[in-house]
């Protein structure tokens, strides 16, 4: 038996008081001061301010003297020049419907036509938008829509087509207590965490840059077997001095927003892994610089200070990436449902499918089409919005860190 039985039962009569108008200091205080004069209970409160316009709603049990109650509420409105609406009903407003999902929408820019299409698809799927919250206004516009009444898996499929048509990104996650738990973020490196492909940079030094770039493109599009194509490309690196690895590493540039994403999520206790078809001499220093917990990548054979054109050990291919995700999740004792995978190539598809949230980041068409969630914005920190973190929270945390630094 549930010992926490609410005093106001779900079937008891209630009244919803809503005040709207220009936002002013002291409105909520005055409202609840006047409400305290009645023998009632507060069931729910919601407040929203958009461009200086206030919407404040309080759901309370019905007072004995409803006429006096209405007069009192309207006097609060008169004091602040606000419109007042009262609506009687039963229980805790409308009961929440089954199928609780969180839809995150990213646009750069976000057009009204996109909003119309997305909201219509939610309605068509039997969903109701309970709340909309802006997560960021730059460098992308990010909104979170809390939806009830629609199965999140069905909703994801329904919204993907509309999102692609209108040039926006959509992510749908089931809402529940697990979304607050610690997560493991597993990232691809080349063309995801960093800009460009390391193997192409090395091949330039051997005079095979164009040839390797072509093969890399075909492999990332899923047109070639990854392991066979990787061995063929590595063979072209034979004879390159090992010092070229240091030169390439020094020239690497992180994807915009990469440091912000890692810094922000590490504050929340998230763990990180780099799982790459690239090479350990490049990946390991990146992991150390960013304080990454786990690494899986390929090892180049080096003899007498030069690359032999061969790999050492097993290749981290498409299946290997997914296996690494599962292994690291087990080591971190984090459920697979609470893992996030980010990648751009066909060799990332198994990893994206295995993760609780798989994100195709600026991905090849074959990857974007198969991934449940796709982000086409050029900013890696857009991922934090998919996890419900606002831009204001990120900036406030950064400012707090700066204030603590001597």
Mean pLDDT in residue range 94-116: 79
Report pLDDT for 101. 83
- pLDDT for 292-329, tens place per residue? 999 999 999 999 999 999 999 999 999 999 999 999 99
Any idea which of 139-153, 192-206, 259-273 has the lowest mean pLDDT? 139-153
Indicate whether 93 pLDDT > 50.
Answer: no
Indicate whether 262 pLDDT > 70.
Answer: yes
Domain 185-375, CATH number (from 3.40.190.10, 3.40.50.1000, 2.30.110.20, 3.30.460.80): 3.40.50.1000
Identify the band that residue 361 occupies on the pLDDT scale cut at 50, 70 and 90.
very high
Query: Is 398 an annotated catalytic residue?
Result: no
Query: Edge-to-edge strands of the sheet including 53-61?
Result: 42-50, 53-61, 13-22, 83-90
Terminal CA-CA length for the chain: 55
What is the percent of the chain with per-residue pLDDT over 70, rounded to a whole number?
93
Domain 13-90, CATH number (from 3.30.460.20, 3.55.40.20, 3.40.50.300, 3.30.70.260): 3.30.70.260
CATH class, 101-176 region: alpha beta
Both tokens of 115, joined, read 């909003």
Of the candidates 12, 78, 153, 188, the residue annotated as catalytic is 188
Any idea which of 54-63, 68-77, 152-161, 279-288 has the lowest mean pLDDT? 152-161
Assess whether the region 13-90 and the region 101-176 belong to the same CATH fold.
yes
Report pLDDT for 97. 47
Q: Say how far apart CA 316 and CA 301 lie, in whole Å.
A: 15
Indicate whether 15 pLDDT > 50.
Answer: yes
Mean pLDDT in residue range 61-81: 95
Any idea which of 10-19, 59-68, 115-124, 360-369 has the lowest mean pLDDT? 10-19
Q: Where are the domains of the chain?
A: 13-90, 101-176, 185-375
Report pLDDT for 154. 83
Query: Is 400 an annotated catalytic residue?
Result: no
Name the most confidently modeled range: 44-48, 150-154, 218-222, 246-250: 246-250
- pLDDT for 173-188, tens place per residue? 877 655 666 799 999 9
SS (H, E, C) the chain: CCCCCCCCCCCCEEEEEEEEEECCCCHHHHHHHHHCCCCCCEEEEEEEEECCEEEEEEEEECCCCHHHHHHHHHHHHHHHCCEEEEEEEECCCCCCCCCCEEEEEEECCCCHHHHHHHHHHHHHCCCEEEEEEEEECCCCEEEEEEEECCCHHHHHHHHHHHHHHCCCEEEEEECCHHHHCCCEEEECCECCCECCCHHHHHHHHHCCHHHHHHHHHHHHCCCCCHHHHHHHHHHCCCCCECHHHHHHHHHCCECCCHHHHHHHHHHCCCEEEEEEEEEHHHHHHHHHHHCCCEEEEEEEEEECCEEEEEEECCCCCHHHHHHHHHHHHHHHCCCHHHEEEEECCHHHHHHHHHCCEEEEECCCHHHHHHCCEEECCCCHHHHHHHCCCCHHHHHHHHHHHHHHCC
Both tokens of 355, joined, read 């993760």
Both tokens of 243, joined, read 């010092």
Report pLDDT for 43. 85
What is the percent of the chain with per-residue pLDDT over 90, rounded to a whole number?
60
Identify the band that residue 2 occupies on the pLDDT scale cut at 50, 70 and 90.
very low
Indicate whether 357 pLDDT > 50.
Answer: yes
Report pLDDT for 180. 61
Both tokens of 226, joined, read 């990854």
Indicate whether 109 pLDDT > 90.
Answer: no
Of the candidates 169, 190, 350, 381, the residue annotated as catalytic is 190
- Give how far the C-alpha of residue 358 lies from the chain's centroid of Cα atoms, to the nearest Å: 10
φ/ψ of 333, rounded to 5, equals: 60, 45
């Amino acid at each position: 038996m549930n010992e926490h039985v609410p005093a106001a039962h779900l079937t008891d009569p209630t009244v919803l008081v809503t005040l709207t108008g220009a936002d002013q200091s002291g409105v909520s205080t005055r409202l609840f001061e006047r409400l305290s004069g009645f023998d009632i209970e507060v069931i729910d409160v919601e407040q929203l301010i958009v461009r200086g316009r206030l919407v404040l709603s309080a759901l309370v049990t019905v007072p004995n003297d409803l006429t006096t109650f209405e007069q009192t509420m309207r006097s609060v409105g008169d004091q602040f020049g606000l419109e007042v609406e009262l609506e009687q009903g039963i229980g805790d407003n409308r009961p929440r419907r089954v199928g609780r999902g969180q839809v995150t929408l990213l646009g750069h820019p976000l057009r009204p036509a996109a909003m119309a299409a997305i909201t219509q698809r939610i309605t068509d799927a039997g969903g109701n938008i309970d709340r909309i919250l802006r997560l960021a206004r730059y460098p992308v516009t990010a909104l979170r829509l809390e939806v009830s009444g629609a199965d999140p898996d069905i909703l994801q499929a329904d919204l993907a087509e509309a999102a692609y048509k209108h040039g926006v990104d959509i992510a749908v996650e089931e809402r529940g207590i697990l979304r607050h738990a610690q997560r493991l973020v597993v990232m691809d490196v080349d063309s995801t965490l960093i800009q460009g492909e390391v193997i192409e940079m090395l091949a330039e030094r051997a005079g095979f840059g164009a040839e390797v770039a072509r093969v890399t493109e075909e492999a990332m599009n899923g047109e070639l077997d990854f392991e066979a194509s990787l061995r063929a490309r590595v063979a072209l690196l034979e004879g390159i001095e090992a010092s070229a690895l240091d030169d390439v590493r020094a020239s690497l540039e992180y994807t915009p927003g990469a440091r912000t994403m890692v810094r922000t999520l590490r504050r929340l206790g998230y763990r990180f892994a780099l799982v790459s078809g690239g090479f350990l001499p490049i990946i390991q220093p990146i992991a150390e610089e960013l304080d990454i917990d786990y690494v899986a990548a390929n090892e180049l054979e080096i003899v007498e200070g030069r690359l032999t054109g061969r790999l050492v050990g097993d290749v981290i291919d498409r299946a290997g990436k997914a296996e690494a995700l599962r292994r690291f999740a087990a080591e971190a004792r984090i459920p697979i449902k609470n893992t996030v995978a980010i990648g751009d190539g066909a060799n990332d598809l198994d990893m994206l499918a295995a993760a609780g949230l798989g994100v195709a980041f600026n991905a090849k068409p074959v990857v974007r089409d198969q991934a449940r969630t796709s982000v086409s914005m050029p900013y890696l920190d857009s991922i934090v919005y998919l996890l419900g973190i606002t831009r204001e929270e990120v900036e406030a945390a950064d400012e707090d860190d700066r204030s603590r630094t001597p």
